[in-house]
Amino acid sequence: MGRSPCCEKAHTNKGAWTKEEDDRLVAYIKAHGEGCWRSLPKAAGLLRCGKSCRLRWINYLRPDLKRGNFSDDEDELIIKLHSLLGNKWSLIAGRLPGRTDNEIKNYWNTHIRRKLLNRGIDPATHRPLSESAQATTTISFAAAACSRDQEDSKTDVKSLATPPPTVAVVKKEVEKCPDLNLELRISPPYQEQFYRETTPSGKEELCFDCRLGLESSRDCSCSISSGPKESAAGFDFLGLKSGVLDYRSLEMK
C-alpha cells in the first residue's frame, strides 16, 4: 500500500495563485495562525492542496519576507553558508532573515553559481575550477572556449559537467588556439596558494574569505586586506573555531 496523496487532487486548483486566494489564505492564517496545513484549505474555503497553501504562505505571503534584490553582503553570506552546508537551503535561509529557502535556491541557481564560475570557483565544491577540472575537464574548457570564440564569459555549468566526446578530439581543438590561456585560475588561487609568503622563510595561511576571493570581506581574518581584523585565531564564523559545525545552533526558519 502506497502513501496516500496529500490531498484530493481532483478538486484542487493548481498553478498561479489569484489575488482572492491569497487574501483568503492570509485572512485565515491571521485569524487562526499557521499549522495543520492539510485541513487549512477546507477551513479557509480554498480549493488548494495543503502543501500548496504552505508553500504560498512561506514563500510569498508571510509578512516578514524581505522582497527585492539580494545585497552583496547577502550574496557573500550565501556563498559562505553554501560552502559549509551544501544545498541545505532551509538552513541557509535560517541565517538570512526575510529570505526563504526557495528564494535562495533560485537565486543560487540563477546568479551566484554563475558568479562563482566567473571567479573560477566550482559552485558545487567551492574549490578552484582548475583543481576539480584537472582530471577530466580542463581540456574541455579550452575546447569549448575555442569553439565558441570565447563569446561568453558566463560559463555554462552543463559544459563543465559534460565531458567532450573524446580526449583526442579535444586536444586537437586546443592546438588550434595555442595562444589562448584558458586555464581558469582567475580567483581565488589554487589550493597550494592558500598560503602567502609573509617573510622569506615563513608562510601564513589564508583565511576562508581570501580563499573564496573575498579579501575585502569584513570577515577576513588574515592580514591580506586592510581594515579591522579578528584575532589571530580567526573569525568565528558560525562558531567554527573548533572546526566542527554544530548544526543545532543553526536556527530553522
Partner DNA sequence: AAACTTTCCAACCGCGCTTCC
Partner DNA sequence: TGGAAGCGCGGTTGGAAAGTT
Q: Which residues bind DNA (CB under 7 A)?
A: 1, 3-4, 6, 9, 13-17, 35-39, 49-52, 54-56, 59-60, 87-91, 101-103, 105-107, 109-111, 154, 252-253
Per-residue 3-state assignment (H helix, E strand, C coil) for 181-213: CCCCCCCCCCHHHHEEEEECCEEEECCHHHHCC
**CA dist 10 → 1, 15, 52 (Å):** 20, 14, 14
Please, what is the minimum distance in Å from the beta carbon of residue 99 to DNA? 10
Report helix, strand or coil for 234: coil
Nearer to DNA, 157 or 224 (CB): 157
By C-beta, is 148 or 171 nearer to DNA? 148
Would you call 58 helix, strand, or coil by DSSP?
helix
With respect to DNA, which residue has the nearer C-beta, 62 or 185? 62
Minimum separation from the CB atom of position 144 to DNA (A) = 14
- Quick one: 70 or 235, whose CB is closer to DNA? 70
Min CB(238)–DNA separation in Å: 16
Q: Which residue lies nearer to DNA by CB, 152 or 192?
A: 152
How far from the centroid of its chain's Cα atoms is residue 202's Cα?
Answer: 35
Minimum gap (Å) between residue 126 Cβ and DNA? 15
Please, what is the minimum distance in Å from the beta carbon of residue 26 to DNA?
13
Phi, psi angle pair for 217, to nearest 5°: -60, 145
Question: Could you give the CA distance from residue 57 to residue 27 in angstroms, rounded to a whole number?
Answer: 11
Q: Please give the Cα distance from 235 to 232 (Å, whole number).
A: 8
